[in-house]
């Protein structure tokens, strides 16, 4: 595995080469869109989120619905029945809290459908709180490059937060997602186009 100084330096290069700007920062919308994103491609998530918030702009609109009302919008999404229930229940809880989405990890994890990745995205994007969301891209790339040697996203999160300064946690998630889609793909990574190829410790590099 790499030394922490090198992990930070390579991470900074990944962030510089694959920047991701979050145009939406409203905590409720970020939370709901991240739930929609589970088992979805980004383009599908964006399309569904736009339809959803176009018809039901706020938590108040969603809190009074029956989950079945969301099926036509969410049908393209995986687990749409579950997600419909989760979204309506979250909207009700946010309404009961006076429109406030929690800014603490433990409180967010009490919401249905919210795991550590989703919670950490909300904390980072909406509240500016240092948090590292580890999805399949971050887990795969971190192990492939040689940042960590872990078996699960949870262990990857633990290891990376020990290795990296907190200022890099939030930006690294979005940048590794972009890197994972464009270059460091699960199968047949395009190593010739990788800006950190020379620092990668993957033994099966291909051009």
Task: Check whether 179 has a pLDDT greater than 70.
Answer: yes
C-alpha to C-alpha distance for 56 and 27, rounded to whole angstroms: 16
Instruction: Give percent of the chain above pLDDT 90.
Output: 89
- Residue 9's SS3 state is helix
Which pLDDT does position 22 carry in this prediction?
A: 84
19 φ/ψ sector (left φ>0, alpha ψ -120 to 50, else beta): beta
Q: How confident is the model at residue 206 (pLDDT cuts 50, 70, 90)?
A: low
Going by C-alpha positions, the residue among 206, 135, 186, 204 that lies closest to residue 194 is 206
Q: Are 144 and 202 in contact (CB under 8 A)?
A: yes
Say which residues have a Cβ less than 8 Å from residue 144's Cβ, sequence separation at least 6: 184, 189, 200, 202
Q: How confident is the model at residue 152 (pLDDT cuts 50, 70, 90)?
A: very high
pTM score, two decimals?
0.91
Per-residue tokens: 160? 């990376």
Q: Average pLDDT, whole number, for the chain? A: 94
């Amino acid at each position: 595995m790499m030394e922490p100084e090198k992990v930070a330096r390579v991470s900074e290069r990944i962030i510089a080469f694959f920047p991701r700007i979050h145009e939406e920062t409203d905590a409720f919308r970020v939370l709901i869109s991240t739930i929609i994103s589970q088992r979805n491609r980004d383009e599908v998530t964006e399309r569904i989120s736009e339809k959803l918030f176009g018809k039901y702009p706020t938590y108040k609109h969603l809190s009074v619905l029956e989950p079945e009302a969301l099926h036509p919008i969410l049908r393209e999404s995986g687990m749409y029945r579950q997600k419909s229930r989760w979204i309506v229940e979250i909207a009700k809880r946010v309404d009961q809290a006076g429109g406030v989405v929690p800014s603490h990890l433990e409180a967010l994890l009490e919401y249905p459908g919210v795991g550590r990745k989703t919670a950490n995205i909300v904390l980072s994007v909406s509240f500016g709180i240092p948090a590292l969301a580890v999805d399949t891209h971050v887990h795969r790339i971190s192990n492939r490059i040689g940042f960590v040697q872990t078996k699960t996203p949870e262990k990857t999160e633990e290891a990376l937060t020990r290795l990296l300064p907190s200022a890099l946690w939030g930006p690294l998630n979005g940048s590794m997602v972009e890197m994972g889609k464009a270059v460091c793909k699960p199968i047949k990574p395009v190593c010739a186009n990788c800006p950190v190829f020379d620092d990668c410790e993957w033994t099966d590099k291909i051009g």
